[in-house]
Amino acid sequence: MVKKIEDALPKIGYVYHYPKVDEPMDKFRLDIFISSIPTEQHFDVLRCHVFVKTRKGAIERLTVFHPWDYEREADVCAGVVIIEDRKGNKEEAFTFGGKIRIDEQEMQTICILTSPAPILEISGATPLHTLFIEELEIVLAKRQAAFSNHLEYETLLCKAEPFELYRACLLELTEEFENFPFKDEEYLELLMYLHSQEYRLNAAGLTNKPAPTLDEIFVV
């Protein structure tokens, strides 16, 4: 009986999947395994939080736990994904939007987040991701502040196609940092990172048309 329970428990807390070099149109994916019993063998996920689109086009935070007996699918909006364990530890990622599917099993609930745009891990092991997302959140906060009605901003953010939003953010930040009068080493590294991402998209043949601007995405 104990063996059957162990077999049914997740062997890992979460895992990122990236498109293969020769299949650039594959989806980016983050699988999160929410366990009924901590195994102490990995990051034992207790719950995860993700921003999703409501029926009215607004944004709300969805918290998924085990057992799960609610909606199985939702449209995910751009924002931070938070993964928590039973000890109060957190792991985070950033998504530009996508879909989430929630599958409940006897001993675990599995959340599968997919997106045509990168899902970026935020951790000490990925400092450029962290800096990129910090600057990105500043840019998006300025966009939100320009709307007297925040529901209008949320509606447009939810409507944005994730890959186009990603390209628009790359374009906005690249232009901003190229025009900085002074760039310290950290921001020079970030600028190189932004150029490398655009190069990667070009090499994969994913930039056949010009990137949209954030002005175009957030036009009312």
pLDDT attached to residue 21: 57
Indicate which CATH number applies to the domain containing 105. Answer: 2.60.15.10
Measured distance CA(212)–CA(166) in Å, rounded: 10
pLDDT attached to residue 209: 83
Query: Are 200 and 182 part of one and the same domain?
Result: yes
pLDDT attached to residue 4: 45
Domain assignment of residue 140, given as a range:
127-217
Query: Are 108 and 132 part of one and the same domain?
Result: no
Which run of H or E residues covers position 93? strand 90-95
Under 8 Å between Cβ of 77 and 153? no
Query: Are 10 and 101 part of one and the same domain?
Result: yes
Query: Are 68 and 132 part of one and the same domain?
Result: no
Class of residue 139 by CB neighbours under 10 A (exposed 0-12, middle 13-18, buried 19+): middle
- β-bridge mates for residue 75, sequence order: 99
Helix axis angle, 185-203 to 162-178, nearest 10°: 140
> Could you report the average pLDDT of every consecutive run of 10 residues in the chain (220 residues)?
53 87 71 91 94 91 96 96 95 97 94 95 88 94 92 94 96 90 81 90 80 90
Query: Are 83 and 169 part of one and the same domain?
Result: no
Query: Are 154 and 101 part of one and the same domain?
Result: no
Query: Are 104 and 144 part of one and the same domain?
Result: no
Query: Are 46 and 154 part of one and the same domain?
Result: no
pLDDT attached to residue 2: 42
pLDDT attached to residue 23: 58
Query: Are 141 and 94 part of one and the same domain?
Result: no
Domains in the chain, number: 2
Query: Are 57 and 104 part of one and the same domain?
Result: yes
Query: Are 16 and 74 part of one and the same domain?
Result: yes
Q: Which of 121, 145, 175 is the last residue of a domain?
A: 121
- Residue 15 sits at the vertex; the CA angle it makes with 163 and 195, to the nearest 5 degrees, is 40
Residue type (1 letter), 40: E
When computed from its CA atoms, the radius of gyration of the chain, rounded to whole angstroms, is 19
Pull the structure tokens for residue 88.
């109060």
pLDDT attached to residue 29: 95
Measured distance CA(122)–CA(91) in Å, rounded: 7
Q: Which of 75, 94, 121 is the last residue of a domain?
A: 121
Query: Are 153 and 109 part of one and the same domain?
Result: no
CA atoms lying within 13 Å on the CB side of residue 65: 5
